[in-house]
């Protein structure tokens, strides 16, 4: 088994094709575009000049399509972990002292991933963000569970539909690891995504560390349901809105990003075209989005994603 660790680096240094513009429909385009952009940049940065490359004799397994650099030049394998692309940790970090920022992290548990491993997913995601930003703790960690949405023709319909979604037992079990991170001081505040009033009320009664934020998408219902407003006010929970996809990285999208197509990274094999690469069952497990905002200016200085998938070879 190989763990693929995909990263975007800081997308705030990219152009408008990478950064999702305010008001855009909820989408995973920001993630997919920034992954592709970072892969291309890494291929350019880590590939030696043509004269040097031509003097080497790569093995048959490393042969690439024309105009595509050797995979080993811009990726790194560390035991069972495969970093795509290579991460130069020495160049990461924030410009100012960590105390000058509000750092928000959103963790997406993806459909099809093993529920029993969510504790490890959460710890790994947080550690990657801490290492990338060179900080010791996170201000807010929001978790997004698969299968939840806040869609409907009106706020009442959306709230009712939401109450029947998800798996309460799995959500409670997964929350325990986040509570540990909070108790350890690694995360200052915890939050949820897509919890209507019914789900939230039940959840609050069963957890030790209560969420201080509930993030919902109200694109289709336009207004926040009154019961949710009342519950949030009574329990001192901040309501935030968002436009993220719940299933932010479907398996087909990931295979396209890593595949042999014109927009692919050329890492996965494609038997129909006789193109060599990694073979096996690919399962996206989680995605984490991090944002660092300079407190006194309200400016986003650093924003990026990590995505992890398992390749069962």
Q: What is the DSSP string of 168-237?
A: HHHHHHHHHHHHHHHHTTSEEEEEEES--HHHHHHHHTT-SS--SEEEE--TTT-S--HHHHHHHHHTT-
Cβ neighbors of 222 (< 8 A, separation 6 or more) are: 154, 155
Phi, psi of 55 (to 5 degrees): -80, -15
Q: Residue 66, SS3?
A: coil
The tokens for 142 are 């929001």
Give the pLDDT confidence score for residue 152 in this predicted structure: 59
Give the pLDDT confidence score for residue 155 in this predicted structure: 65
Phi, psi of 281 (to 5 degrees): -85, 125
Tell me: the pLDDT tens digits for 249-308? 999 999 999 999 888 999 998 766 656 789 999 999 999 999 999 999 999 999 999 999
C-alpha 259 chain-centroid distance: 20
8 A C-beta contact, residue 188 and residue 139: yes
Give the pLDDT confidence score for residue 117 in this predicted structure: 97
Q: For the purposes of burial, counting CB atoms within 10 Å of the CB of 146, is it exposed (0-12), middle (13-18) or buried (19 or more)?
A: middle
Name the residue among 309, 306, 204, 305 with its Cα closest to residue 255.
309
Tell me how long the chain is: 313
Tell me: the pLDDT tens digits for 31-90? 999 999 999 999 988 766 664 445 454 444 444 454 678 899 999 999 999 999 999 999
Cβ neighbors of 46 (< 8 A, separation 6 or more) are: 69, 73, 74, 85, 86
Cis peptide before 85 (omega within 30 of 0): yes
**Cα–Cα distance between 78 and 99 in angstroms, integer?**
32
Give the pLDDT confidence score for residue 109 in this predicted structure: 97
Q: Average the pLDDT over 177-195 and give the result.
A: 97
Give the HSE-up count for residue 190: Cα atoms under 13 Å, Cβ half-sphere: 22
Q: Which helix H or strand E contains 19, and what residues bound it?
A: none
Give the pLDDT confidence score for residue 17 in this predicted structure: 45
The tokens for 36 are 């592709």
8 A C-beta contact, residue 142 and residue 105: yes
Tokens 């100012």 correspond to: 96
8 A C-beta contact, residue 190 and residue 211: yes
Query: Using 50, 70 and 90 to split pLDDT, how confident is the model at 153?
Result: low
């Amino acid at each position: 088994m190989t763990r693929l660790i995909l990263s975007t680096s800081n997308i705030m240094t990219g152009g408008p094709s990478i950064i999702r513009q305010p008001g855009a429909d909820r989408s995973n385009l920001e993630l997919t575009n920034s992954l592709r952009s970072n892969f291309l940049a890494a291929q350019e940065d880590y590939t030696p000049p043509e004269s040097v490359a031509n003097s080497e004799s790569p093995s048959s397994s490393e042969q690439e399509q024309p105009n595509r650099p050797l995979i080993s030049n811009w990726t790194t394998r560390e035991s069972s972990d495969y970093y795509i692309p290579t991460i130069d940790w020495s160049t990461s970090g924030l410009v100012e002292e960590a105390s000058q920022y509000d750092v928000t992290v959103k963790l997406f548990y993806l459909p099809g991933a093993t529920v029993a491993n969510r504790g490890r997913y959460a710890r790994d995601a947080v550690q990657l963000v801490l290492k990338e930003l060179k900080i010791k703790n996170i201000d807010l960690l929001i978790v997004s569970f698969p299968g939840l949405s806040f869609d409907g023709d009106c706020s009442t319909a959306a709230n009712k539909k939401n109450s029947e979604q998800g798996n309460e037992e799995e959500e409670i079990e997964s929350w325990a690891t986040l509570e540990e991170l909070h108790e350890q001081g690694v995360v200052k505040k915890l939050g949820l995504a897509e919890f209507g009033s019914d789900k939230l009320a039940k959840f609050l009664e069963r957890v030790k560390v209560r969420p201080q934020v509930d993030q919902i998408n109200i694109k289709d219902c336009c207004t926040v349901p009154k019961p949710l407003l009342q519950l949030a006010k009574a329990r001192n929970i901040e309501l935030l809105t968002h436009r993220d996809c719940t299933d932010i990285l479907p398996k087909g999208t990931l295979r396209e990003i890593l595949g042999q197509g014109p927009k692919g990274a050329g890492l996965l094999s494609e038997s129909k075209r006789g193109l060599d690469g990694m073979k096996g069952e690919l399962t996206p497990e989680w995605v984490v989005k991090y944002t660092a905002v300079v407190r006194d200016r309200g400016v986003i200085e650093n924003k990026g994603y990590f995505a992890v998938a398992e390749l069962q070879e």
